[in-house]
Amino acid sequence: MVTTSVPTAPTATAQQTLGKAAQWSGVGLHSGQSVEVTLKPSPANTGRQFVRLDLERQPVIPAQIDAVQSTQLATELVANGASVRTVEHLLAALAIAGIDNVTIEITGSEVPVLDGSAQPWLEGIQRVGVVPQEIPRPAVILKEPVTIYEGAAFVSAIPAPELRLTYGIDFPYAAIGRQWCSFTPSELAVAVAPARTFGFAEQVEYLRSQGLIQGGSLENALVCSVSGWVNPPLRFADEPVRHKLLDLWGDLALLGTPPIAHYVAYRASHHLHTQLARAIAQQMV
């Protein structure tokens, strides 16, 4: 049976995959290169994995924490002599939709940014539906609390009766300032998936000189300046912190099924997100 709505991971006890294949195309946020992505159903216990169609032998890159190579402004995975970058929005969408097993065929080295959020991915998944599989999804409980600090920033996972994500940010821009949000996974499809990536006008020239954000535009990212938002309106008054929470969930998806816990992050980054995931993975062995 194919489900036509997008379920959330905690409500499903069986593993799930897509009802049929779905395709997207767009440009990479950092590379600026055009790329196509096709999501295809996969058997139970396959997990989420990328396949580089543009490379000889079409190497497979598992979406697992052990494959993380770089976390500079995005999460990059490397395996079998190949890489794929900026995976976090797509992985967040798959986690929100409860997709455990999927083959992600991609024709380049960076996942397209689309509109800067996870919403287009979720909408495509909703169109093709979600299929329950015969194998149960593992229920993983966090054994011990984990906290990782980096200056004033930190990430933490705390044993809890239900899974919750809480995030805080603090930027020296009046339009953003200090923001906090907190949601359960069942709320993410509506409250977090539409939140777009954001950046700062004063940093654009420097980042582009470093070979970054080559595909960034006012159509796929919110841009803030000392004077305010360059391209309003926002989808949420606190859209920046909601997007950071989306990034966190995408990075935690590299665990496969993140343990039931309360995840708390403050002024964190992909580096801290993935460090937390690595520490949790040690408990899951």
**What are the pLDDT tens digits along the chain (285 aa)?**
333 333 333 445 899 999 999 999 999 999 999 999 999 999 999 999 999 999 999 999 999 999 999 999 999 999 999 999 999 999 999 999 999 999 999 999 999 999 999 999 999 999 999 999 999 998 888 989 999 999 999 999 999 999 999 999 999 999 999 999 999 999 999 999 999 999 999 999 999 999 989 999 999 999 999 999 999 999 999 999 999 999 999 999 999 999 999 999 999 999 999 999 999 999 886
Is the Cβ–Cβ distance between 69 and 95 less than 8 Å?
no
Tokens of 122: 């979720």
Question: What is the C-alpha to C-alpha distance for residues 27 and 31, in angstroms, rounded to an integer?
Answer: 8
pTM assigned to the model = 0.94
CA distance 75 to 63: 11
Strand ranges (E), the chain: 14-18, 22-27, 34-41, 48-52, 60-62, 68-70, 76-79, 82-85, 102-106, 130-136, 146-150, 153-159, 164-170, 178-183, 198-200, 222-225, 228-229, 261-266
Tell me, what DSSP letter sits at residue 141? Answer: B
Annotated active-site positions, please? 270
Single-letter amino acid, residue 141 = I
Q: What is the rounded CA–CA span in Å between residue 238 and residue 176? A: 8
- How are strands ordered across the β-sheet holding 222-225? 198-200, 222-225, 228-229
CA distance 63 to 32: 22
Cα 179 to Cα 166, 175, 186: the distances in Å are: 11, 11, 21
Cα of 196 vs its chain's centroid, Å: 12
